[in-house]
Structure formats: structure tokens, C-alpha cells
Amino acid sequence: MNSVSRKVPTHSSAETQRRLAYFRLAYFKDRRDEIVSTIRELVEIESPSDNKAAVDRVAEAVAHKFSQLGGKVRVHPAKEFGNHLQVDFDSAGQAADKPVLLLGHYDTVYPLGTLASMPCRAVDNKLTGPGVLDMKSGIALMLHALAALQDWHKEDWHGGLPRPVTVLLVSDEEVGSDSSRPITESLAKKAAAVLVLEPSYGSHGAVKTARKGVGEYLVKVTGKASHAGLDFQKGVNAILELARQIEKISGFTDLKKGLTVNVGIVSGGSRTNVVPAEASAQVDVRIARMKDAAGIDKKMRTLRPFNRKCKIEITGGINRPPMERTAGVAALYAQAAAIARELGWKLGEAAVGGGSDGNFTAGLGIPTLDGLGGAGDGAHATHEHILISELPRRAALIAGLIEAV
């Protein structure tokens, strides 16, 4: 495969570009089974966000793989969560270039032992397993794209990468990224662009160019308990007050703006014969535009009791800004679509409601493209899987983007 070992010449003809894309695709097709076995290795080390020891185990395995590629590994210790992993690759090419940041996470939503009922198995074109789509295949794609770039450039740059690359894999993305957010933001600020290897969208593997921002609120109502039979009138029913608040809160939804408010969990009361003194609701807020953040936050925070005898307490806030399709994001997508076109692939884009760490980097104004990881379905569900046949072209796209941005 030596014919591939060339940097993309800037003035090459369209024909040369096409031929190069073809060889790169063939390169990854030849290595498809290797990519699958890397994914399997990572899936078989279970790593639920709330189990530090387990997440640290997968972090170590991943760190070892990146260091084998010559990356400088730096562990960011975390107390309550697994450690976060940063890997830096110098460039043998334009060393002055800003790095591209490859972003992802190795925690999953699945408790230890899930593998027993949901083994990592290849059946026809599907590879199953906990976290296979979200997002252990994304980590494997990073590894294989970097290894390929080193291979392709081994003559001109002695096995170095054509540009500096920083990899950041965090341990707490599935539980809000509280402990990793400052690291993500500080590395993003130094980067030329951020490529997020979260799952792609749909069966054709569209990338994500917009994500909604996410907020969480807890609405707590305090009333007064009393015997429902003996002292009914002395009680102040917190559940009744909460019910009226829920009606009001739900009315904040504005679908035209892409703003939704979902009361997802309610609790309250102790017994049927007691007027309830306490009730609370947990609320999920999604915003498509940053400019709507302050408004909805104010509406939530200024909720006042309908019944003056009740007390109401609001905590929480907007914790992920939306990833908006800015000019920088659109330009990055255009670059990705052009690389995909050479590979014979019409790469789609999607706007989704779910957040990722890409929201933080895009929120800082750094061009961010998300959903570059595996293609499949069933993230966080028992049928989670990736499509094996999609792996080669996704690896080729990621390698191309690392070079181009």
C-alpha cells in the first residue's frame, strides 16, 4: 500500500485526489477487522460513569494504545469520577499549526455486568455491546485514523503526523461532564477545530452540526402537613401547588424556537391520609439558541407560589450551551462533505436535541463538528450496535479531516 504514502498535494488534480481517496478507503477496508477487534477490546472493559475503578481501567487500556502510537499521555486525575486522558501528538509537518482536538468519552451508561446479557458480538453487519456506538467505536476510529496518517506519511515526515493533534477522552460525559468541563474548554481554546467522535446520526452516518443546549432544574414545594380527616383545613397541600406549577412550567415550551421544557420526575407526599407537606419536580430544559438561555432561566427562577402559604425553591440552571450552526461549524461541515464526496459518499448533517461535550467547545466559538464516530443505532438501549461496513469510510473521513482543518 505504498502508493498511498503521500501527503495530499495542494495543487493536485481532481483525478489525483480521487485516486488518493480510493486508496485510503481500500486501506481501511483491508484493516476493517482490526478496527472491529480494537472496538471489541474497549467494549469488553465495562466502564459505567459512576464506577471510578472500572473507568480508570478502560482509561489505562486506551492510554496504552495511544502511547504505542507515540502520543504523549497525560492523565488528569479526578476524585469522584474516572481519570481523564489527554494525549498530545507533535507534528513532523507544520509544527507551528494549532492542534486539532479529537474529543470523546469512555464512560458508558451501562452498569457492570451488562456484557453478560448484551455481549460484544458481530452478527451479519452489526456489532453489538454496551457503549459500542456511544462511543467506544469513536475511540477506536481515532486510534486507527492516527495510525494510518503516520503510515501514509512515514516517508516524508518520518512517521510523524502532518499536523499537531490533541486527544481528550473524559470519564464523566454521560453524567454531565462537571469534572472534565474545564479541561475540555482549556484545550479547545488552543485548538484550530474540534472533532467530536460521538455517534453519528441515522443509518447513513450524518454528522451533527447543531445540538440543543441542556438545562436541569429542581422545583421544590413546601406546604404544611396535617391529618386529612381530622385537620384537613390546617394543611397546605404541596402536591396541589406543584401540580399548578407543572402546568405553568410546561407552558414555557416554545417549539418554534426549539425550546422545550419537560417535567420528567415528580415526587411528593407520604400517605393518602396526610395532606402532603412536600413535593418536588425535576425539569429538563432544551434550547436551540444561546439567546434563549437567559429568558427561560429567568422564567424558571422567578416562579412564585400560587398559594401564598406554600414555599417554592428553585435550583439548577442551563449546564450545556447549545451547539449552534455557526459559520465556523458550517465551514467545517463543508470540508467534511468535500472529503466524503471524494470517497463516493454524500455526507449528511443533522441537528439533534441531545447534548455532548461539543456543546462546550462550540459555545466558546471554536469550530466544532460532532457525530464523527460510529454509525448505528440504539445508543443507551439494549439493541445498541454499530454497522461494521461503515467503519472504513468513517476512518478515512476522520483521517482526511485531521489533515485538512
User: What are the residues whose beta carbons fall under 8 Å from the beta carbon of 287, sequence distance 6 or more?
Assistant: 212, 213, 215, 257, 258, 259, 293, 296, 318, 322
Per the listing, cell 459500542 goes with 132
For 185, the grid coordinates are 474548554
Looking at 14-22, 149-157, 192-200, 300-308, which segment touches Zn ion (CB under 5 A)?
192-200
Element spanning 141, H or E: helix 137-152
Nearest residue to Zn ion, using CB? 134
Q: What do you get for the CA distance between the two ends of the chain, in Å? A: 25
Nearer to Zn ion, 97 or 185 (CB): 185
> Which amino acid is it at 383?
H
Pick between residue 198 and residue 384 the one whose CB is nearest to Zn ion.
198
Q: How far is the CB of 109 from Zn ion (least distance, A)?
A: 9
Partner residues linked to 126 by β-bridges: 123, 387
Residue 271: how many CB atoms within 10 A of its CB?
9
Rounded Cα gap, residues 295 and 288, in angstroms: 13
Q: Per CB under 5 A, which region of 43-51, 129-137, 148-156, 274-282 contacts Zn ion?
A: 129-137
Q: How far is the CB of 307 from Zn ion (least distance, A)?
A: 42
Q: Give long-range contacts, CB 8 A cutoff, 24+ apart: 64-68.
A: 65/38, 65/143, 66/143, 66/167
Q: How far apart are CA 163 and CA 348, in angstroms?
A: 26
Smallest gap from Cβ 357 to Zn ion, in A, equals 8
With contacts defined by CB under 5 A, name the span among 44-52, 70-78, 131-139, 160-168 that binds Zn ion. Answer: 131-139
State the number of binding residues for Zn ion (CB under 5 A). Answer: 3
Question: What's the rounded Cα separation, in Å, for the pair 101 and 402?
Answer: 9
Cβ proximity to Zn ion: between 195 and 242 the closer is 195
- The letter for the amino acid at 34 is E
Task: Choose between 134 and 349: whose C-beta lies nearer to Zn ion.
Answer: 134
Smallest gap from Cβ 331 to Zn ion, in A, equals 24
Nearer to Zn ion among residue 134 and residue 292 (C-beta): 134
Residue placing its CB nearer to Zn ion in the complex, 45 or 135: 135
Over the Cα atoms of the chain, what is R_g? 24
When binding is defined by CB under 5 A, the residue of 46, 56, 134, 357 that contacts Zn ion is 134
Minimum CB separation of residue 356 from Zn ion in Å reads 6
Taking the least distance from each CB to Zn ion, the nearer of 169 and 275 is 169
Least distance from Zn ion to the Cβ atom of residue 76, Å? 19
Q: How far is the CB of 197 from Zn ion (least distance, A)?
A: 9
Could you tell me which stretch among 37-45, 149-157, 198-206, 287-295 binds Zn ion (CB under 5 A)?
198-206
Q: Which residue number, 39 or 135, has a Cβ lying nearer to Zn ion?
A: 135
Least Cβ distance, residue 208 to Zn ion (angstroms):
11
DSSP 111: P
Return phi, psi of residue 135, to 5°. Answer: -145, 50
CB 145 within 8 A of CB 166: no
Task: Single out the segment in contact with Zn ion by CB under 5 A; choices: 39-47, 63-71, 130-138, 251-259.
Answer: 130-138
Cβ neighbours for 77, distance < 8 A, ≥ 6 positions apart: 83
Nearest distance from residue 196's CB to Zn ion, in Å? 9
Using the rule CB under 5 A, give the single segment among 78-86, 193-201, 290-298, 314-322 that binds Zn ion. 193-201
> Taking CB under 5 A as the rule, does residue 135 contact Zn ion?
yes
What is the rounded distance in angstroms from the CA atom of residue 5 to the CA atom of residue 23?
A: 10
Interface residue list for Zn ion (CB under 5 A): 134-135, 198
